[in-house]
């Protein structure tokens, strides 16, 4: 199965912050991504979001660099499919989606990708979840 994974989910694999249900949800997505035939798609800015979470967490003293390295290797072991179309759609579809659903453009990229691939979205972001549900998408 194909799914789109928001950076909010992957960030919990490193930080472990948030509610117990958020952590359980993100760990469930991680387990799912280790199964055969599971394909995770992300927009092109996803890697920068992940790098920001990792470096900021270490800089602020929330996590040790050894945990960041483990996390980055974990990410590399999952075959994330990086979608580059978000950059070509940023000033058209993504801007329209962001305005319509009151999202930031980064989050609109996840919504647009899930719509285009016709697949479920994994997210912990409340605004993105609300928008995806309004758009008729399956939210895991």
Asked if the structure places residue 66 within a domain, the reply is yes
Q: In which domain, by residue range, is 100 found?
A: 2-134
- Quickly list H helices, 7-45: 7-15, 20-33
Asked if the structure places residue 139 within a domain, the reply is no
Asked if the structure places residue 30 within a domain, the reply is yes
d(CA 37, CA 135): 26
d(CA 44, CA 61): 28
- pLDDT tens across 22-77, in order? 999 999 999 999 888 889 999 999 999 999 999 998 998 888 999 889 888 888 88
Q: Which pLDDT band holds residue 90 (cuts at 50, 70, 90)? A: low
pLDDT at 107: 94
d(CA 70, CA 29): 18
pLDDT at 87: 75
Number of structural domains found in the chain: 1
Asked if the structure places residue 140 within a domain, the reply is no
Asked if the structure places residue 77 within a domain, the reply is yes
118 pLDDT above the threshold of 90? yes
Query: Are 125 and 111 spatial neighbours (Cβ–Cβ below 8 Å)?
Result: no
130 pLDDT above the threshold of 90? yes
């Amino acid at each position: 199965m194909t799914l789109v994974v928001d950076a909010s989910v992957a960030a919990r694999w490193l930080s472990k912050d948030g509610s117990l249900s958020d952590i359980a949800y993100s760990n469930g997505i991680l387990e799912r991504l280790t199964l055969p035939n599971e394909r995770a798609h992300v927009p092109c800015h996803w890697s920068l979001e992940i790098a920001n979470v990792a470096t900021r967490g270490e800089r602020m003293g929330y996590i040790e660099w050894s945990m960041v390295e483990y996390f980055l290797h974990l990410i590399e072991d999952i075959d994330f499919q990086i979608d580059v179309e978000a950059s070509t759609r940023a000033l058209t579809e993504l801007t329209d989606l962001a305005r319509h659903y009151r999202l930031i453009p980064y989050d609109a990229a996840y919504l647009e990708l899930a719509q285009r691939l016709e697949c479920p979205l994994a997210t912990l972001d409340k605004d993105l979840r609300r928008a995806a549900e309004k758009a008729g998408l399956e939210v895991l």
